Structure 1
Amino acid sequence: MLPIIVWQHLTVMFCFKLNGRIISILDSFCYIIFMQESWRNFLQTQHAVIENDHVIHFGGLMAELKHAQTGTILVDLSHYGLLEVSGADAQKFLQGQLSCDVSAVNINQAQYGSYCTPKGRVLVNFTVLKKNSDWLLQCPVDLCTPIQKRLSMFVLRSKVEIKDCSEQWVRMGVAGEQAGMLVEQVIAPTKSDLDESLALSVVHSAHTSIVRYTPDRFEFITSVEDAQKLWRILSEYARPTGAASWRRREIHEGIPVISAATQEQFLPQMINLDLIGGVSFKKGCYPGQEIVARTQYLGKLKRRMYLAKIATHEVVAEGDEVFCTEMQDQSCGTIVNVAPSPAGGYDVLAVIQQSSVTTGGFYWKKPKGPELIIGTLPYSLL
């Protein structure tokens, strides 16, 4: 059990103000940039090894991956960014742009969704949250700027503002056997608001939002000024690890993340978004909706996303091709996401030809290359 003083610390930090001073737009910008640099410096004092603003590990990648199998982990999620969509027409605008039913999202319920090209190919997929009257779209941080610009092209006369607020918030995650207990202790006064029967339930305090992905995986989206205090509290009970431990959890849960390497390669159903609530077939139009719906109702989906393991010492990358015995020299799939396995090699999500799954014989990067061993996802593909 966490001591009562934990919540007292959090209550104080959630009420933090900038000494009562009114900040100008320029001051605010400089403050955010400074504090994010401060956050990176803080992580380095915690022994984080950081490359390209991503935490690689806190001293030993393989040891962290092994710990994550049975222990509780704490992960910096700066590899994710946030787009904020606000204004009187924000919900209507997003409903006409994203594949999910945005009207089903509320302050206590998030949802997966995607943004597609007119041909139905996924440009990016999100976790969609609502905070107060604003909407937050979480996706890989390097896609935030291009997606913000593309969405802004369609605002026209709508009362909608889209901005990249990645620098305004710090993202961190806890996962593992003790994660649920840890989060319950942290949010004790509002515990009942975090619906334990639902995936993607959300609870908010003044400066922190907590997303429940599964019973043992949670994300904190917290203000920059509160992040260091929160990290210190959580790290007393969870081991800090690099981003690979979190990615591996997402992979085994069958949650895809489209990156720059895989944009415009898949329909939403190919990456199983329809199976995790990321596609609505009852809402109105959105870019690519006609093709997505036709594929669904005519049963023409030939490829699905599968969990697999690849035993290799070479580096496996998102966007790599997959081959199979049945199709010989012709590619039959693509690597969507990848994370190193504590047993060696890599765990991956791969979109592959469904008709070939029963016959087997899948290979990475070239015919007769390292074999993909198909695993089992936590949801049915039927």
Structure 2
Amino acid sequence: MQTDLATNGVATLTHWGVIRARGADAARFLHGQLTNDMLALDRERALLAGFCSAKGRLQASFLVWQGEADEILLACSADVLAPTLKRLSMFVLRAQCKLSDASAELPLHGLAGAAASTLLGDAAVWQRRDTAAGTLIRLPDSQGMKRALLAGGVPVDAPLLSLDTWRWLELGSGVPTIEAATVEQFVPQMINLELVGGVDFKKGCYPGQEVVARSQYRGTLKRRMFLFDVVAVASAGQEIFHSADPGQPAGLVANAAPSPEEGSRLLAEVKLAALDSGTLHLGSAEGPPLTRRELPYTVPFEGSAAA
């Protein structure tokens, strides 16, 4: 392979891992634990989903797809995999479902640009395909380029793409990932999980379901996630402050990655009121200012900052 620093190629996704759920009750068990409809999962498409605490706070987020017979695979941030596997396993009880860490057996790779387009063809977003190279799932576009997840293989004719570049593209798609630094910090809507298809409000109960539903239907949501650039090093879990209120944080970084040119790109949850005036800063009210960028979808909220 030839190294290519442009946004075209294949990256090894060492920041993700895979949980395997196998057994006759795998789909039904996960349906009762996650925010999306696992009974609607089929071999044609993947789904996003979250795993919440009883208080409706996200403990993990997943990209979910079917594997072999009676097998469901869940990709998540590698740094939450072990505790998430432990928590989920506590609820299996008598269900015919065995949970395990499949990361070593199923390496994940991200494809972007021409490398993705070649294999994807006319596949729609979240469509799942079995290919000679492995299971292929089309991810949302970023920077006008197609992206895909490849599980279990890697195309040998694609140039190498750095993980930092892939993560920068990942943020541009507006799809958040729960990391260790943000466990139990967000209700799903605070990081737009329902806007990217990760929450089904018509399915049955799951941990935290009442809190998530109340946030959706009672109009109590006062925080949302937006895309920002900052001329500084940023990381998940860092606090964000408003220029007019230095005494308390106005938001929290959900995900961050180095930008190709300078500084960092980040997805951050912020108070909606903080977008109406003043400026947002990383770390403190005197910290580097954030520059808001456009997300690839509309975030619904009232106020002059709506976009």
**TM-score higher than 0.5:** yes
The answer to whether the aligner puts 1:345 opposite 2:271 as a matched pair is no
Shift of 1:180: 4.3
The one of 186, 191, 196 aligned to 1:271: 191
Structure 2 partner of 1:136: 73
Structure 1 partner of 2:17: 81
Structure 2 partner of 1:240: 160
Alpha-carbon RMSD: 1.8
CA distance in 2, matches of 1:207, 1:246: 19
The answer to whether the aligner puts 1:114 opposite 2:32 as a matched pair is no
Shift of 1:231: 4.0
Structure 1 partner of 2:147: 217
CA distance in 2, matches of 1:260, 1:214: 24
Which 4+ runs in 1 deviate beyond 2 A?
230-234, 325-328
Q: Return the index of the structure with the highest Cα Rg.
A: 1
> Does the Cα contact within 8 Å between 1:254 and 1:349 map onto a contact in 2?
yes
Question: Which residues of structure 1 form unaligned runs of 5+?
Answer: 1-45, 48-57, 185-190
Amino acid at match of 1:380: T
Shift of 1:343: 2.5
Question: Which residues of structure 2 form unaligned runs of 5+?
Answer: 301-307
CA distance in 2, matches of 1:367, 1:360: 11
Structure 1 partner of 2:304: none
CA distance in 1, matches of 2:106, 2:23: 20
Deviations 1:179-203 (A, max 9, x none): 344215xxxxxx6xxx63x311000
Structure 1 partner of 2:217: 297
Shift of 1:205: 4.1
The answer to whether the aligner puts 1:255 opposite 2:175 as a matched pair is yes
Shift of 1:206: 7.0
Shift of 1:241: 2.2
Aligned 1:193-212 pairs, distance under 5 A: 196=123, 198-205=124-131, 208-212=134-138
TM-score in terms of structure 1 length: 0.74
Higher helix share: 1
> What number of residue pairs does the alignment pair up?
295
> Does the Cα contact within 8 Å between 1:112 and 1:128 map onto a contact in 2?
yes
Identical columns (%): 37
Aligned 1:1-382 pairs, distance under 5 A: 64=5, 67-68=6-7, 72-133=8-69, 134-176=71-113, 178-184=114-120, 196=123, 198-205=124-131, 208-214=134-140, 216-222=146-152, 227=153, 230-234=154-158, 239-312=159-232, 315-382=233-300
Deviations 1:291-341 (A, max 9, x none): 0101111011111000001112xx321100000024332101001111111
TM-score in terms of structure 2 length: 0.91
Shift of 1:360: 3.7
Structure 2 partner of 1:16: none
* 3-state DSSP of counterpart to 1:92: helix
Shift of 1:368: 2.0
> Does the Cα contact within 8 Å between 1:107 and 1:132 map onto a contact in 2?
no
CA distance in 1, matches of 2:286, 2:73: 44
Q: Relative to structure 2, which stretch is displaced further, 96-105 or 269-278?
A: 96-105
